[in-house]
Amino acid sequence: SEEEQSPRLFQFHKDGFLVLEQFFSAEECDSMRSQIQRIVAEMEVPPHCRTAFSTREEEQLQAQGSSDYFLTSGDKIRFFFEKGVLDEKGNFLIPKEKSVSKIGHALHAYDPVFKQITHAPKVQELGRKLGLERPVVVQSMYIFKSLLAVTPHQDATFLHTEPLGRILGFWIALEDATQENGCLWFIPGSHTNGITRRMVRAASGASTCVEFVGSEPAYDDKQFIPLPISKGGLILIHGEVVHKSELNSSEYSRHAFTFHVMEAKGTTWSKENWLQPTPELPLPSLYT
């Protein structure tokens, strides 16, 4: 009912995030996990991971291949690996399914299971409660979260809009996320100060595919609060709230599926963002 919702919406606008426990069922989580196992089982190692480069020129070609692979992943399902899991010939040094750090960025468009979750009636209903008029899905990722910490950041650094405040992340825990296995941490209220850093496409011919403009301030560790969440829980993430995750110090994985939505009404998607809509995949409406 409206009455139940409004305190929660107030909380979201105040904190910049909102935890909704048990938003998805265990079955829905398991269907995503088994689908990703199928996708990984069929995965081909991308060509840029296979070159045993020796000369500087070959190394640059490899780096270029790697950046092209990333920059053109907005309308595809692609694989991003942990460091050191492949030898120079592209063979796995550890079990294949432990080698991937994330899969992105168009699962929501091309995979039936993830498409169904992204456009689930309860997700659309939540969008309407949040007052989204023309939400479009900009990207999605399956995150394996093996070991590494994710440094404090704001999603709008990577997904810039004019005006700001039009990006919303949906982060779904496919397993319990705890302080031991790397749950998210947030600075409540940090979404009200704009952004200090942007990741933009580098000028063509530059040595890197993207560059950062501006700098990330030093955040005070004491300001962060942990948000442990059970399997099936959803965290709504304002595009400008500062969040991070610590390294996973447990032997348990912490799988998550996340997608970002933009309110398209009166909004301009930055031409400098790494991710750009393509003729093959214009940004699809959240509402079906």
The pLDDT value given to residue 4: 56
- Give the pLDDT mean for 258-266: 98
Cα separation, 46 vs 61, whole angstroms: 14
In a domain, 1, yes or no: no
- Give the pLDDT mean for 241-260: 94
- Give the pLDDT mean for 39-67: 88
In a domain, 275, yes or no: no
**b/e burial code for range 46-71 (CB count within 10 A of at least 16 → b):** bebbbeeeeeeeeeeebeebebebbe
Cα separation, 116 vs 63, whole angstroms: 35
In a domain, 80, yes or no: yes
* Whether residue 1 has pLDDT greater than 60: no
Q: pLDDT grade, residue 146 (50/70/90)?
A: confident
* Whether residue 207 has pLDDT greater than 80: no
Cα separation, 85 vs 90, whole angstroms: 9
In a domain, 48, yes or no: yes
In a domain, 274, yes or no: no
Choice among 83-97, 226-240, 265-279 with the minimum mean pLDDT: 83-97
* CA dihedral (249, 254, 260, 261) positive or negative: negative
In a domain, 49, yes or no: yes
- Give the pLDDT mean for 227-246: 98
Q: Which domain holds residue 20?
A: 7-269
* Whether residue 12 has pLDDT greater than 60: yes
In a domain, 65, yes or no: yes
* Whether residue 140 has pLDDT greater than 70: yes
- Give the pLDDT mean for 241-263: 94
* Whether residue 170 has pLDDT greater than 90: yes
The pLDDT value given to residue 97: 85
The residue type at 282? P
pLDDT tens digits, one per residue of 26-46: 999 999 999 999 999 999 999
* Whether residue 256 has pLDDT greater than 70: yes
- Give the pLDDT mean for 180-197: 96
In a domain, 288, yes or no: no
* Whether residue 186 has pLDDT greater than 60: yes
Cα separation, 35 vs 1, whole angstroms: 34
Q: What is the pTM of this model?
A: 0.95
Give 3 or 12, the one with higher predicted confidence.
12
* Whether residue 2 has pLDDT greater than 70: no
CATH number for the domain harbouring residue 181? 2.60.120.620
SS3 (DSSP) at 65: helix
Q: pLDDT grade, residue 145 (50/70/90)?
A: confident
- Give the pLDDT mean for 236-252: 94
The pLDDT value given to residue 275: 96
For the chain, the domain total comes to 1
